[in-house]
Amino acid sequence: MDVMRHCSSFLLPSPASPSAASAADNDGLRHPAYALIVLNQRLPRFAPLLWQHAQVRMCADGGANRVYDEMPDLFPHEDASVIRNRYIPEVIKGDMDSIRTEVMDFYRKLGTKIVDESHDQDTTDLHKCVSYIRDLTPELDKSNLCILVAGALGGRFDHEIGNINVLCRFSDMRLILISDDCLIHLLPRTHRHEIHILSSVEGPHCGLIPIGIPSKSTTTTGLQWDLADTEMKFGGLLSTSNIAREEIVTVRSDSDLLWTISIKKP
Amino acid sequence: MSHLPSHLGTPKISNPPYLPPSRKNPKSSPSPPAISDPVRARSSQWTSCATAPPSSSPPPPPPPPPPPPTTTACAIRLTRSSCSTSGSRASLLCSGSTVRMCADGGANRVYDEMPDLFPHEDASVIRNRYIPEVIKGDMDSIRTEVMDFYRKLGTKIVDESHDQDTTDLHKCVSYIRDLTPELDKSNLCILVAGALGGRFDHEIGNINVLCRFSDMRLILISDDCLIHLLPRTHRHEIHILSSVEGPHCGLIPIGIPSKSTTTTGLQWDLADTEMKFGGLLSTSNIAREEIVTVRSDSDLLWTISIKKP
């Protein structure tokens, strides 16, 4: 079984140049090419950092309102209009029922591509955005693509679940849901996983959750309460409030799991 | 105090301000007569339920719902996110409840944030009005001065720091379930504030408590929505109170896929439809009618949005 490696390098200070995006670090981990999708919830406090790491930034509908309104708030000592002109998404996509007209006009004039998908009511805005990024050729190196999603958690629970379901539907892609408090991504059952913990920015609180079906057998190393061929299911044991004890956590399971780890406050 | 909406039933304490726990609790109202129709009716009115297994033939038309009984409700306040619910709504949750518990740092939240919900009143008056009966948990979050404040006012402090195997919510639900004979548990409904948002593993741990106590009525509540379990053992009638909730709603098969779910009353009804993660889930649905019915082969989470004031 192949190993899949994970590292939250998007939480570290941004690389100096785009070429660094494909360089390998000492562990042989290739830094992914990042794309960022902003959904319609309060921006996390490190949104500018995610923005800098990303080669493509998309707003899903009202996510554009969030960038317009809240990026300046993250730079209280700078002029709002300077900030707005610095953080311009390449694309705004969705059914356009939340974005304000003046926000759409502002970004359209600055060259943002506006893609109106209001005819498609069968998929969520996040699903539409992920499909769009996946179909973008050849601008992104998709063999090493990692899509970061801000604003997918909290708020209405059915929205949150709909966003988690996008992780499951696109299980062959690297998709990370990020909030101020934590991040979530899928660990597909097809791989053994090595999760490199960057303890300066994340952890130690973490969890493993069998999403969709029970897991008959999961084995881990590097956690405070490791699992050893352990069964997990809703109504029974789930690995929540665990602690990442070592620099590398390994996970092997017979079913897809969600990995979640806390993000440290500054 | 202003008139309470009917969906919270007759308030337990008819004349707030709330008095400390030494006051004798008023008796709960007698349960309404059982409905013969084999359906579990659910709403904020908490009409009674029967326990007959789901019928495979179309149900007979249900009798008109009985007048809402007085619910024996309990509120548990967890430590997590701050609550920006208006003061009137927070006091509704409290005054409709027979027992109020704080799980560990939930006591900090009540102490610090209740006064914020009544910005025109004196903080210390508010603090003396909203006193939990019990504070329980591993006590690693509650501030000492908060614990002392409530202890002096008669709150029972139950230190469970020796038990690291269950979450604070789990401990509190067990405590309430074991409370006898103070609560009418045949009609008990536990409301939980602060279970959603924040760390995702905490949120999942709290949802797992719904699954572990699937024979109890447990509702997780945030500013934006509420969640509760619809056990597969019953057909469900959900009475939508459109003045305070909806229309956005969803049905989620938690834990295992659902091979067959059938609903009425939704914008996009399900008809013997399969639901699973990685496939179809009923999210961003709309409650179109006053009663939504759900029947499924597996446990589902029901979620509905709560209206902003």
Per-residue pLDDT for chain A (266 aa), expressed as one digit of tens each? 899 999 999 999 876 544 444 444 544 456 788 999 999 999 999 999 999 999 999 999 999 999 999 999 999 999 999 999 999 999 999 888 899 999 999 999 999 999 988 777 778 889 999 999 988 866 666 778 999 999 999 889 999 999 999 999 999 999 999 999 999 999 999 999 999 999 999 999 999 999 999 999 999 999 999 999 999 999 999 999 999 999 999 999 999 999 999 999 98
| A159 close contact with B: CB closer than 8 A | yes
| B268 close contact with A: CB closer than 8 A | no
Across the interface, whether the CB atoms of B255 and A233 are under 8 A apart is answered: yes
Q: What is the mean pLDDT of residues B173-186?
A: 76
SS3 (DSSP) at B26: coil
Cβ-based contacts under 8 A for chains A and B: 119
Write down the H helix ranges in B140-190: 144-152, 168-178
Residue B195 contacts residue B203 (beta carbons within 8 Å): yes
A153 vs B contacts (CB less than 8 Å):
197, 200
Across the interface, whether the CB atoms of A156 and B303 are under 8 A apart is answered: yes
CA distance A12 to A202: 10
B283 vs A contacts (CB less than 8 Å):
124, 158-159, 161-162, 165
Across the interface, whether the CB atoms of B201 and A164 are under 8 A apart is answered: no
- pTM check: above 0.95: no
Cis peptide leading into residue B5 (ω within 30°): no
Across the interface, whether the CB atoms of B249 and A158 are under 8 A apart is answered: yes
Beta strands (DSSP E) in A9-68 are 33-38, 54-60
Q: What is the mean pLDDT of residues B13-39?
A: 33
Say which amino acid occupies A99: I
The per-residue pLDDT of chain B, averaged, comes to 77
Across the interface, whether the CB atoms of B248 and A184 are under 8 A apart is answered: no
Task: Tell me the Ramachandran region of residue A235: left when phi exceeds 0, alpha when psi lies from -120 to 50, beta otherwise.
Answer: left
Question: What ipTM was estimated for this complex?
Answer: 0.92
CA distance A193 to A211: 17
Q: What is the mean pLDDT of residues B32-56?
A: 37
Q: Tokens in use for A264?
A: 């440290």
Which pLDDT value is given to residue B90?
56
CA distance B100 to B134: 7
**Is the model's pLDDT at B244 over the cut of 70?**
yes
Q: What is the mean pLDDT of residues B12-24?
A: 32
